[in-house]
Homo-oligomer: A and B are copies of this chain.
Amino acid sequence: MSKQVVPLAVIDLNADAPCCPPLAQRRVPAETAAVLAPAFKALGDPVRLQLMSMIASAEGGEACVCDLTPAFDLTGPTISHHLKTLRQAGLVDAERRGTWVYYRARPGILRQLAALLTVAPADS
């Protein structure tokens, strides 16, 4: 797992414009890879991928933990742990309002990742 999350902020993960050219267009520099790989890693678990999707596709753009937890055969702490991983990867934001905690997706970084994976329309 080559070390741990690098807290580099050289790349603005919240910017709307893609930070980097597509992966297939130019070689990704080591610094960029170190920043973006943790985000891919966070999406590399089926539970987190579904959580991310549930949050991003939720009405109003945010989802309550109380809605997320029952959707899985996992305990509350485990879901909380996965949500923390998504938060640390910069993929979601959390906010407590009263009893419940609400999670909201950060579209900026999703755009960065999508842009990086973009491939020319016809060359398969």
Q: Dominant SS at the A interface?
A: helix
Oligomeric state, in copies:
2
- B27 near A50: Cβ-Cβ < 8 Å: yes
- Cβ–Cβ < 8 Å partners of A47 in chain B: 2, 33
**Which of A54, A56, A106 has most chain B Cβ within 10 Å?**
A56
- Cβ–Cβ < 8 Å partners of A114 in chain B: 114, 117-119
- B24 near A50: Cβ-Cβ < 8 Å: no
Tell me, yes or no, whether A98 is within 8 Å of chain B by CB: no
- Which residues on A are within 8 Å of B, measured CB to CB? 1-2, 14, 16, 23-28, 30, 33-34, 36-38, 40-50, 52-54, 56-57, 61, 105-108, 110-111, 113-114, 117-120, 122-124
